[in-house]
Structure 1
Amino acid sequence: MNKQLSWLRLAATLVTGALAATGALAEDGPQAEAGSAPPEASAASAARHCVAELAPVNAGARTSAIKQGGCYSSFAAAMAAATDNTVALASESSPESVGESDLAAAATRVIGIDYDGRFYSGSSFIWYARNNFGCFGGRSYTANMPGSFNNRLTSTRGFNGCTRNTSYSGFFQTGFWVRCFPNCLYIGDFMNNQTSSKRWAR
């Protein structure tokens, strides 16, 4: 009788241990990440859209005066910030959707938009000038890439008369370069994720 009780206790102990081990494995498995966002959603939410104001470059200066703006989770919010809320895109607007006609009535002049994805997609950086001319009238602009967008440019567009949109691999317009007239839906393999400075001109 005692031997039977001992066997029963041993069997109960083994079953309890197996159940505990199964529970521990479940905690380490996919179920523990059930609340995580899917990869696609995580990538989309990681996109950031930043803005900066430039002044036309002065004779003899190496770069335009630059005033850093903010960064936004949506492209529409970034465009509103760059144009003093005079360009109101739909909240779901994608970075590639904006055109010259959208910017015509803006209080500022968007001179270029750089993107970290091909075909004007992904995160973006909007450059604008607080004047009525953009690159018209012989005005040009230069800038070193901010740290957050350095060596990230994959595609680029020029606006408001900035038909020569040049990307350089070095700071202060040095190193290798690619010139777009004014758009490049892909900057090319040898300059992809290599841009450290820019120049926009007529």
Structure 2
Amino acid sequence: MVMTHVLVGIVLGVVATLFVPAATPVAVLAGALGGLAPDLDLYVGHRRTLHFPVYGPLLAAGAVALAFLSPSVELVALAVFFAAVGTHAAMDVLGGGLELRPWQATSERAVYSHFHGRWLRPRRLVPYDGAPADLALAALVAAPALLVGDGPVALAVAGLLAIATGYTLLRRRLAEYWARLAHLVPPAFVEYLPARFAVVHRTHGSPPSDD
């Protein structure tokens, strides 16, 4: 759901600039980066290392309160960044599990909660990243930015929606390509693959499970 997360961050930035116009375009950029940032842990404990579904929103609330009390460009951008980071992790709970083919619903790991000390189970309100429901959510989220954002923001949002549409159309086919590529990885390097790819490598393409 990376495109959806980035779009959510952009919308948060757009909303912030309605109250603090001087923060444009820094707040919008901060929102986009905040929406993307948690997924930088893709190869190092995905949805665990940089995902904080409890602490993230709490940190965001503190940053927003600070920006409200002292609405400087820097604090507003920081608040938008942390709001996007916290929203990203919280949203992942509503999606699918950590698996190569999440439409098979074999994983019960959505995102790791450091507060609870365990994995939170996927709610699957959006069945998986790249699902039609994910694209619909992305379009819904993008609407405010398209309506009130300036030219460059609207253009960027339209581009992200185009990428999300292409990803939705290719999502299931891409999973099969990724599975085939995983088999080409030499055994000595399998440990460096994300868990869902390593499982496919070991089981010759059978549905991955939590390990």
Q: What TM-score, normalized to structure 1?
A: 0.22
Higher strand share: 1
User: Which of 1 and 2 has higher RCO (CA within 8 Å, sep 6+)?
Assistant: 2
Higher helix share: 2
Q: What TM-score, normalized to structure 2?
A: 0.22
